[in-house]
Amino acid sequence: MMFIRIIAVATVCWMSPAFGAEPSTYTDDDFARVEKIDAHVHLHGALPAFMKLARADDFRLLTINVNYSVFPPLPQQRADALALHREYPDRVAFAATFDATNSQQPGWAAQTERELQAALKQGAVGVKVWKDIGMQQRDADGHAVMVDDARFTPIFRYLEQNHVVVLGHQGEPRNAWLPLDQMTIRGDRQYFTNNPQYHMHAHPEWPSYEEQIAARDRLLSRHKDLRFLSLHLASLEWSVDRIGDFLRRNPNASVDLAARLVHLKLQTGADRERVRQFFIAFQDRILYATDLTRLPAQSDAEFAAEAHAVWLDDWRFLSGAGQLHSGDFDGAFRGLALPRQVLDKIYHGNARRMFPTAWPTAEH
């Protein structure tokens, strides 16, 4: 769900454009001048310091409700999201979700559809489907309930017919199915140490990594017109080739970068050009996102400071060409120096196209 980010101070070397020419890439100085959307955060409570920072850094936000036990109950999440959306309509949009716990009960699908209709009328721009389907829910016979289960067909049919974006988080990073000492990212190792219920290497009673991915792919094959944002790089974060194959096979799907950009940084150290060409090839189908979450013990000011550090760290990787380091793995890597037109799509163009009713005013 939420992963630890270890941020190291980066060494950045910028390349100067030819005299008089329009620079093809952005620099650190452009950071606060370019409109940016973080399309995957979890905002709880009033956040005046964080919202002030978001305005200063020129970020708009999509806060996503999720049925996660360490988060406030879903009614409170909905109330918080709606309050932030009403106070900052140009800055905060929100996505709804549903609780699949009682999906085996008669009338569950009809009741859930009514709840989603109400959330959409209140302004929700999408609906999240979380990893509890596939990793926590069992049917009356004890079998794992997967996302392509027929009980969910009425919900997905309703969302498909009404052109509602589904934000899908299926499975976990592949590291979750590895022993701790074989995980490629320190943040993953720390997260699964602290959250052993999601360390699937220790839970062979649940479907495998590939079974989680296959269930998601079957869902998309069944609902070909579903507008689908596959969160966390479609849980294929370990291979840009696998992500690219997923996007080619599913023309109505896009991916976000939430909590997985570090995996692309790791791949950049081995083959920078392959990662760079992935971003360029799929520039219309990648949304910038972080999974930033305001934790219960975290003050508003602390959350704002964390957000600024994460946003700036990612900007330097995507826009710059300098040598960088990450606290999540050993070794250096270079920034991708993506072209301005590519970054404009990843940072705001794709999100605005996917969620056309969100963030109604752009301030420039």
Residue-wise pLDDT tens digits, 235-255: 999 999 999 999 999 999 999
- Position 22 scores a pLDDT of 54
**CA 236 vs CA 5, 21, 37, 45, 216: distances in Å:** 19, 38, 22, 32, 12
**161: its two tokens:** 């017919």
- Position 295 scores a pLDDT of 86
**CA 151 vs CA 75, 106, 137, 275, 331: distances in Å:** 23, 10, 12, 38, 47
Write down the architecture of domain 28-354 according to CATH.
Alpha-Beta Barrel (3.20)
Nearest-angstrom CA–CA distance, 239 and 206: 23
Q: Residue 246 half-sphere exposure, CB side, CA atoms within 13 Å?
A: 26
Rounded to an integer, what is the distance from CA 178 to the centroid of its chain? 22
DSSP 138: B
Neighbours of 267 (CB within 10 A): 20
Residue 270 exposed, middle or buried by CB count within 10 Å (0-12, 13-18, 19+): exposed
Q: Residue 55 half-sphere exposure, CB side, CA atoms within 13 Å?
A: 11
- Residue (of 30, 45, 78, 9) closest to 296 by Cα position: 45
Nearest-angstrom CA–CA distance, 348 and 38: 8
- Residue (of 217, 205, 202, 204) closest to 170 by Cα position: 217
Residue 360 has pLDDT above 70, yes or no: yes
The mean per-residue pLDDT over the stretch 300-329 comes to 97
- Position 18 scores a pLDDT of 41
Residue 1 has pLDDT above 50, yes or no: no
* 8 Å CB contact between 63 and 44: no
* 8 Å CB contact between 40 and 291: yes
Residue in the structure block whose two tokens are 């590895």: 178
**6: its two tokens:** 């270890």
- Position 70 scores a pLDDT of 86
**19: its two tokens:** 């005299």
pLDDT in tens, 268-294: 999 999 999 999 999 999 999 999 999
Nearest-angstrom CA–CA distance, 144 and 147: 10
Supply the mean pLDDT for the chain. 93
Residue 80 has pLDDT above 50, yes or no: yes
pLDDT category of residue 122 using cuts at 50, 70 and 90: very high
Nearest-angstrom CA–CA distance, 230 and 43: 20
